[in-house]
Amino acid sequence: MGLLLALALVLSQPLPLQAADRSPDWTLHDSAGRHWGLNLLVASDATEASGWRLRLHGRSPGLRLDHQRPLRLRDGLGHSWELPNRSAELVSGIGALIPQSSAQFDAIALVPRPSEVIPLQLAIPLEPVDEPAVDGSAIDHPAMDHPAMDHPVMDNVAVNNAAMDSTALVMLPPELVRALHGLPTSPRS
């Protein structure tokens, strides 16, 4: 009985990344309830810089990732990391379209590796949403004519959502935090 329990525990653990060129596919949910897939893999194309990649897939309809901005990670102790965007590696050939709902990031910038016990949050870069500026001119409502709307504080409320840093926030599950902590410094080590 004890042997069966030990075997079950060993088999339930994810494969160490040293033993594979690709991690399991993790399913994540952002703060807005949208679904994401994430996996870690080794860059395998000879034209790519070698190293580990973090690949994201938007699984909810309409998700459009920004293929220019980095992926940001931060922990609860104030440490933060920016992983360079390598989404162009997802396609072969110049001028090919990168899938809107997928992006890839270079894990080389994950130095020092995050702690295996401190929660991590991802800030996934999304394409900006094209919405009208909220500066009073785009809103046709009688309340906008109220004298209080001319107050200097209201001038600071003007926000153009198209120019905002659109992100999806995701708290990583403990097993993924442990995988990032244990990520080898070289792809085949």
Residues 46, 103, 181, 83: what is their CA dihedral angle, to the nearest 10 degrees?
A: 80
**Is residue 139 in a domain?**
no
pLDDT of residue 47: 60
**Is residue 66 in a domain?**
yes
Sheet holding 35-42, edge to edge: 26-29, 35-42, 52-58, 102-106
The Cα diameter of the chain in Å comes to: 78
For residue 166, give its domain range: 16-129+162-181
* CATH code, domain carrying 47: 2.60.40
Residues 6+ apart with CB under 8 A from 71: 54, 56, 82, 83, 85, 103, 105, 122, 123, 124, 125
pLDDT of residue 136: 40
**Is residue 25 in a domain?**
yes
Q: What is the mean pLDDT of each run of 10 residues along the chain (189 residues)?
A: 38 42 87 96 75 95 96 96 94 83 95 96 90 42 43 37 70 96 77
**Is residue 189 in a domain?**
no
Q: Which residues pair with 52 in a beta bridge?
A: 42
Q: What element of type H or E holds 73? A: strand 71-75
**Is residue 156 in a domain?**
no
For the chain, how many structural domains are there in total?
1
Residue 121, CA distances (Å) to 7, 159, 174 in order: 32, 25, 11
Query: Is 173 within 8 Å of 28 (Cβ atoms)?
Result: yes
pLDDT of residue 128: 87
Query: Is 122 within 8 Å of 72 (Cβ atoms)?
Result: yes
**Is residue 186 in a domain?**
no
pLDDT of residue 24: 85
For every residue of 164-188, which 3-state class applies, written as one string? CCCEEEEECCHHHHHHHHCCCCCCC
pLDDT of residue 53: 95
**Is residue 8 in a domain?**
no
pTM of the model: 0.70
